[in-house]
Amino acid sequence: MSSNKIVFLEQKQMPTHYYNILADLPVPMEPPLHPGTKQPAGPQDLSAIFPMDLIMQEVSQERFIEIPDEVRDLYRISRPTPLVRAANLENALGTPAKIYFKYEGANPTGSHKTNTSYPQAYYNKKTGIKKLVTETGAGQWGSALSMACKHFGMECEVFMVKVSYNQKPYRRTFMKLFGATVHASPTNLTNAGRNVLEKDPDSPGSLGIAISEAIEVAVQRDDTNYSLGSVLNHVMLHQTIIGEEARKQMEMVDEYPDIVIGCAGGGSNFAGLSFPFLRDKLAGTNKNMEVIAVEPASCPSLTQGKFEYDFGDEAGMTPLLKMYTLGHQFIPPKIHAGGLRYHGMAPTISHLYHHGFITANAYDQVEVFEAAQLFAQTEGLVPAPESAHAVKEAIVQALKCKESGEAKTILFNLSGHGFLDLGSYEMYLENQL
């Protein structure tokens, strides 16, 4: 019988640099296009809504980018995060596989999103910005940005997808607790919102719509910027602190993953864990390592979307991004209880998938919640519904090892806890999903 093992890093071992996968891509990515001219978008095209530091990170070809001291100080609230051997789950499955997970839920907001909310707020504050406007789906990102803005003395306004606004009331309470203004999107406050409501007064909303509303508000004031919690290169970059820590922790137990797994909506937590390990695969070592993105069957951008240029928002205000997309006007079913609702996938992840460096699977939400329940009962942690997709894939891979007799090492990202998602778990337990 295997026994649980928790691997901690000391705070002095916390990474000092983010890893930038753009430096190691064997085939360069195609650039974003200006929404009007359809020509490659340059830094000036993004300066209306982002500070120049973040724009430079978006296009940087440096392999490692230093984490500012002020941001590392904030990370110390909950970082480094633990790496845990899921031995009880292994025993329940009767698998020879070793299952490890990186636990990102032990910070005040309960998810990985503070890894990018802190640096984004920091760089905006540095340039004199007084307010950040954003969208949020299930509420993890809005929670993280509201907390970061409060720390830096900035205003925060959040457009929360209406179906989540109603399903997850304590997420919006959390944001308000940290001083944020929260709206159920689509609203009557913006042209983008009004246009949607005119066509469908009962619209459940989507991240694409909420992004359109947030950008529309952000461009109206010079002291206000827009902030995004996933998809863009600089967000993927900030999240790599997860994988950089995990590399050190796996070395401490003399392990290296055969399989790396993360749930994927826009892609930030998947990228955060997997990109530092993909560095080895791109360099030609560990070519057999599997890297698997897991998405909901109700919003399957990688597994069913098209790899093409598309807008990041519903109204067509963002640059066009080359990504796997279901179409920028896609709205997932109201009954979908988790996050991971975005119509597209991060261009970096889309690029890696298109060129065969990663794979993807999609699962129905009921089987995802079943996996989450087993994980909670064995490991004592209730995963966020988003993270439960990674749990599901880890179980699938562990059972494959049981059939084959292979003792593979599986690593997945438990990107957040589900304590503010118990309403969704109740729907699952009452057979209402």
The token pair at 44 is: 């000036």
Structural domain boundaries in the chain? 5-15+67-111+234-429
Q: What angle do CA 271, 218, 240 make, to 5 degrees?
A: 15
Integer Rg of the chain from CA: 20
d(CA 231, CA 264): 10
For the cut 70, the answer to whether the pLDDT of residue 262 exceeds it is: yes
The token pair at 343 is: 């119509």
Q: What angle do CA 277, 103, 13 make, to 5 degrees?
A: 65
Domain 5-15+67-111+234-429 in this protein, CATH class: alpha beta
Q: What is the pLDDT of residue 8?
A: 96
- Give the model confidence (pLDDT) of 206-245 as tens digits: 999 999 999 999 999 999 999 999 999 999 999 999 999 9
Q: What is the pLDDT of residue 298?
A: 92
d(CA 53, CA 49): 12
The token pair at 301 is: 């951008």
What is the average pLDDT across 347-369? 97
What is the average pLDDT across 337-347? 85
Which of 13-17, 43-47, 143-147, 194-198 is least confident?
43-47
List the one residue out of 415, 110, 126 whose CA is nearest residue 271: 415
The residue type at 418: G
Handedness of CA 249, 286, 243, 420 (dihedral sign): negative
For the cut 70, the answer to whether the pLDDT of residue 256 exceeds it is: yes
For the cut 60, the answer to whether the pLDDT of residue 1 exceeds it is: no
Q: What is the pLDDT of residue 287?
A: 85
- Please classify residue 211 by burial: count the beta carbons closer than 10 Å to its beta carbon, then call 0-12 exposed, 13-18 middle and 19+ buried: buried
The token pair at 202 is: 């009962």
d(CA 430, CA 386): 19
Residue 3: band (very low, low, confident or very high) from pLDDT cuts 50, 70, 90: low
- Hey, how many other C-beta atoms are within 10 angstroms of the C-beta on 409? 18
What is the average pLDDT across 53-70? 96
- Give the model confidence (pLDDT) of 31-47 as tens digits: 999 999 999 998 888 88
d(CA 297, CA 267): 16
Q: What is the pLDDT of residue 338?
A: 67
For the cut 70, the answer to whether the pLDDT of residue 335 exceeds it is: no
Q: What is the pLDDT of residue 4?
A: 66
Compute CA 335 distance to the chain's CA centroid, rounded to the nearest angstrom. 21
- Give the model confidence (pLDDT) of 287-331 as tens digits: 899 999 999 999 999 999 999 999 999 888 899 999 999 999 998
Contact 262, 275 (CB under 8 A): no
- Give the model confidence (pLDDT) of 128-183 as tens digits: 999 999 999 889 999 999 999 999 999 999 999 999 899 889 999 999 999 999 99
